[in-house]
Structure 1
Amino acid sequence: MIGFGPDSKLSAASQNSVCQGCHNDPKQMAWHNSTHNLEEVACSDCHNVHGAKDPALDRLTVNDTCTSCHTRAKADMHKRSSHPMKWDQMTCIDCHSPHGSMTESALIKPSLNETCAECHADKRGPFLWEHAPVMEDCSSCHSPHGSVNENLLKSRAPQLCQQCHADDGHASRVSSQAGLDAFSAGKSCLNCHSKIHGSNHPAGSNFAR
């Protein structure tokens, strides 16, 4: 008799082979190369096998199932700026495929930007004037699971902007008297460069319009 769960004497691979005898649809095609499989996670570690209620399939409990292992993501989603996951208005599987995918981090779309654009369609473009880091990778500036900074930013402006934009004569250094100029007050660089994701304005090369 094959047993499942933490008390099973069989390896995760042996337990999973039984499940995959039936559950072999295209959604599972990347399982063998997935992080969960390589880390020897058994199906029963997440799923309540043939139970009346499966926590991994219920939108109100799936986040708890994922974050029972992914503790860093759990900590991030409780930071002051995060996706609405702690209220279960959004779930881990809205962006990630737990059974693996052909992309990095098991994303549901071919790239990170395409995954983000599923909700943030206004940032998709194409734009007449494109901000290169935005088009390349949203995570260049944003921390997707949560941040202590507004809008999931990895750090606050102007420090975030200065990682790429060196001092070239522009007022690109922090004022010693914060709040006394446009660069250090309010949204810093975004006081002027408000269309930082891209602009379709004919004079939008500086992302100000």
Structure 2
Amino acid sequence: MEASGEGTARQITFVGEPVLHRPCQDVTGFDEELAALVADMFASMYAAEGVGLAANQIGVPLRVFVYDCPDETEEYRKGVVVNPTLVLPGHGERNLDDYDEGCLSVPGQRASLARPDRAVVHGFDVTGAPITVEGTGLLARCLQHETDHLDGMLYIDRLPAERRQQLLAAYEASKETADEAAGEQASAAE
């Protein structure tokens, strides 16, 4: 994998890999190993051109995510949340934002998904200090999306079954096309 500044970009895990489909473990050590993981997560997120990344998206089953994402004012906010707890507005205070969502672990696919337009995450920074992140707009969606990952859920799991199956079929078809193209290139190079 390529190095990027402080961290090393790692391979993104894709839908179907077990680490993405089960809850992650709490982080218990706020040490150099965690700092190195976070650096690799930022490098991986930037290499994949994402705005958020959960640890299990690079195969590590720990409750930590990073983000570099705009809020509703288009101001970019960057950070890391360890052992997050998501708090959403109550049903009477909740406004849903219906927006096309995608995921680095289901590349090439997007679907409209309604989520609350505000979210708060409580957790810890990389040193173990308590933090609270309040998000609006795309940042609110990102906080919810990444916390879902740590709970073993992908955004496609929130879609109606028929729409989810359509996306998975399109994803599988795109993988087959890419594999065929790679095979043709390898044959032409021989």
Q: Same fold (TM over 0.5)?
A: no
Query: Bigger radius of gyration, 1 or 2?
Result: 1
Greater per-residue strand proportion: 2
Question: For this structure pair, what is the TM-score category when the shorter chain's length is used for normalisation?
Answer: under 0.3
Greater per-residue helix proportion: 2
